[in-house]
C-alpha cells in the first residue's frame, strides 16, 4: 500500500489520502449495501464514514516510506510464529526514535466513529517526538477503531456471502443471514473459519426458496481460475515437476496464465485497486467473467485440453483414461448411464436425471439436454445403425479404440463447453 496507494507520499503537512480512503471504502467498512442507504444530505458524509475520517486516518498513516532493503524483516523467523515481525513492511521516515514525518497530533474522528480520537501513546514517545513504535501503535488503534464498527463485520460477511452463495443480497438477507454471519465473526475475534462452518451447515446454503430443492446450488459463475484449476484437478492433469523439470513447468504454467488472461483474469494483476470486478462491481458481480469474447476463450480452453487433434496446448485430458479410472465398466458400457455419471461429475445440478421427456419435471437437466449429449456422443456423425449397442460392444471388447476416443472427446466437449459447466 505504500507503493500502490501512495502511502510513501503521505507525510505530515502534506497528507496523501489515497490509502486511508481505500482502506475504509474498499478493504474494511465499505459503502454499505448498494442502493439501501438513505441519500447523503451533508457533503462529505458517506454514512459509514466521512471525509473527516479519511483525513484523520491519513494522518494516522503518515510518515512511512518503502523499506527497499527489508531491514524490518527477519527472514529467518517462521511466518507462523506469533509475536514476531513476520511480513515485510515499510519503515518510518527519519529514524526509529524520531519519526519526523509522522503527524503526531491528536486525530479527531467524526460521529460516524463515535467522535473517537487517536493519539500517540505518551509512553512510546521519545520526548515529544513520534517513534516507529508510537506510529505503529497508532495504526493498531486505527484498525481497532474500524473493526469495532458493526458495519465492518457486516461488509466482510457480504463479501463472503457473494463468494459462496449468490451475488444478490436483499435487505432481508442482509438483516438475517449476513447479520448472523457478522455476529459469528465478531464473537470469534474476526476468525473466518467459524463463519464458514456456520454458513456451510446452514439450511440457507442449500436451499433458499421453499419448494425448490438445491435452490442455491449452481448460482456462482466460476472465475477463470476456478474453471481452469477445477478442470485440471478433476481430470487429474499433472504439471511437470517444478524442481526436476523447471523449464517445462514454467512453459506450461505460462500457458495457463495466458489462457487466464484470454478469459478476462489477469492473474495477480487485477485491473483495479478494488480487485477483480466479479467481487465488487455492483450490480453485475460475477457476470463480469462472461462476455461473448471470454465465453469463446473458455470453450476454446476446454477444446484444447480435450481434443487430441488440437496441438495448441501442452496439457491434455485423456477422456478414455478418465472413464476407465473413475467409472465402472458396468456403467461405462451403457451410453446413457455413462452420460448421467459424467454429468454428475462435471455439472452442478444432476438430480433425478432421465432421458424420458415425460418424466424430467424434477430433474436438474432437461431430458432434451441429455438426449443432446447422446447425439453429440454417438450420432455426430452417426457411423452405426445401432449407436448405443455399438458403443457397448466397443467398450466391452475393446475394439476400435480410435472411435471410442473420438466419441468420448465429443461427449466431453459437449458437456464441458456448456453454460452449465461455467456454474457451480
Closest CB to other proteins among residues 93, 167:
167
Residues 398-417 that bind other proteins (CB under 8 A): 410, 413-414, 417
d(CA 143, CA 206): 35
Cell of 81: 510464529
Site for other proteins (CB under 8 A): which residue of 31, 89, 159, 204? 31
Does position 155 interact with other proteins (CB under 8 A)? The reply is no
The 193-212 contact track toward other proteins, x by CB under 8 A, reads: ---------------xx--x
Does position 20 interact with other proteins (CB under 8 A)? The reply is no
The residue count for binding other proteins (CB under 8 A) is: 77
Residues 336-395 that bind other proteins (CB under 8 A): 348-349, 360-366, 368-369, 371-372, 375-376, 380
Does position 46 interact with other proteins (CB under 8 A)? The reply is yes
Does position 9 interact with other proteins (CB under 8 A)? The reply is no
Residues 48-87 that bind other proteins (CB under 8 A): 51, 54
| Start-to-end CA span in the chain (Å) | 33
Window of 87-95, 131-139, 184-192, 289-297 that interacts with other proteins by CB under 8 A = 289-297
Does position 422 interact with other proteins (CB under 8 A)? The reply is yes
- How crowded is the C-beta side of 316, counted as CA atoms within 13 Å? 12
Give the list of residues 6+ apart from residue 85 with CB closer than 8 angstroms, or none: 72, 73, 74, 77
Site for other proteins (CB under 8 A): which residue of 166, 205, 249, 279? 166
- Count of H-run helices and E-run strands, the chain: 17, 4
Compute the least distance from the CB of residue 251 to other proteins, in Å.
23
CA 243 to chain centre: 28
Site for other proteins (CB under 8 A): which residue of 14, 283, 311, 330? 283
* Burial class, 337, CB count within 10 angstroms (exposed 0-12 / middle 13-18 / buried 19+): middle
Does position 308 interact with other proteins (CB under 8 A)? The reply is no
Which residue(s) pair with 45 in the sheet? 50
Contact indicator for 338, 327 with CB cutoff of 8 Å: yes
Contact indicator for 3, 64 with CB cutoff of 8 Å: no
DSSP H or E stretch at residue 160 = helix 150-164
Compute the least distance from the CB of residue 17 to other proteins, in Å.
8
Amino acid at each position: 500500500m505504500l507503493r500502490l496507494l501512495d502511502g510513501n507520499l503521505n507525510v505530515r503537512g502534506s497528507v496523501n489520502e489515497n490509502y486511508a480512503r481505500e482502506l475504509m471504502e474498499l478493504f474494511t467498512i465499505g459503502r454499505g449495501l448498494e442502493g439501501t442507504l438513505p441519500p447523503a444530505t451533508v457533503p462529505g458524509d458517506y454514512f459509514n464514514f466521512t471525509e473527516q475520517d479519511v483525513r484523520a486516518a491519513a494522518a494516522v498513516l503518515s510518515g512511512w516510506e518503502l523499506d527497499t532493503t527489508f531491514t524490518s524483516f527477519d527472514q529467518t523467523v517462521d511466518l507462523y510464529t506469533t509475536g514476531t515481525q513476520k511480513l515485510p513492511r515499510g519503515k518510518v521516515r527519519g529514524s526509529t526514535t524520531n519519526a519526523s514525518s509522522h503527524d503526531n497530533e491528536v486525530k479527531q474522528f467524526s460521529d460516524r466513529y463515535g467522535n473517537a480520537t487517536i493519539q500517540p501513546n505518551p509512553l512510546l514517545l521519545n520526548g515529544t517526538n513520534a517513534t516507529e513504535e508510537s506510529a505503529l501503535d497508532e495504526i493498531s488503534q486505527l484498525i481497532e477503531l474500524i473493526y469495532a464498527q458493526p458495519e465492518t463485520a457486516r461488509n466482510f460477511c457480504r463479501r463472503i456471502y457473494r463468494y459462496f452463495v449468490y451475488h444478490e443480497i436483499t435487505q432481508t438477507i442482509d438483516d438475517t443471514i449476513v447479520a448472523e454471519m457478522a455476529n459469528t465473526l465478531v464473537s470469534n475475534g474476526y476468525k473466518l473459519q467459524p463463519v464458514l462452518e456456520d454458513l456451510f451447515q446452514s439450511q440457507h446454503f442449500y436451499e433458499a426458496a421453499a419448494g425448490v430443492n438445491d435452490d442455491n446450488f449452481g448460482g456462482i459463475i466460476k472465475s477463470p481460475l476456478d474453471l481452469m484449476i477445477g478442470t485440471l484437478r478433476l481430470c487429474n492433469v499433472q504439471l511437470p515437476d517444478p524442481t526436476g523439470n523447471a523449464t517445462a513447468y514454467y512453459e506450461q504454467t505460462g500457458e495457463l496464465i495466458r489462457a487466464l488472461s484470454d478469459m478476462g483474469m489477469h492473474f495477480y494483476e487485477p485491473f483495479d485497486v478494488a480487485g477483480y470486478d466479479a467481487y465488487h462491481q455492483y450490480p453485475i458481480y460475477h457476470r463480469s467473467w462472461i462476455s461473448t469474447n471470454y465465453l469463446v476463450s473458455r470453450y476454446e480452453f476446454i477444446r484444447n485440453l480435450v481434443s487430441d487433434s488440437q496441438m495448441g496446448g501442452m496439457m491434455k485430458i485423456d477422456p478414455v483414461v478418465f472413464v476407465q479410472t473413475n467409472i465402472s465398466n458396468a456403467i461405462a458400457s451403457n451410453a446413457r448411464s455413462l452420460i448421467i455419471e459424467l454429468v454428475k461429475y462435471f455439472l452442478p445440478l444432476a438430480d433425478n436425471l432421465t432421458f424420458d421427456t415425460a418424466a424430467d419435471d424434477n430433474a436438474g437437466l432437461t431430458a432434451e439436454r441429455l438426449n443432446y449429449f447422446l447425439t453429440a456422443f454417438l450420432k455426430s456423425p452417426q457411423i452405426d445403425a445401432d449407436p448405443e449397442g455399438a458403443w457397448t460392444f466397443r467398450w466391452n471388447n475393446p475394439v476400435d479404440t480410435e472411435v471410442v476416443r473420438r466419441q468420448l472427446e465429443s461427449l466431453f466437449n459437449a458437456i464441458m463447453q456448456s453454460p452449465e459447466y461455467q456454474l457451480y
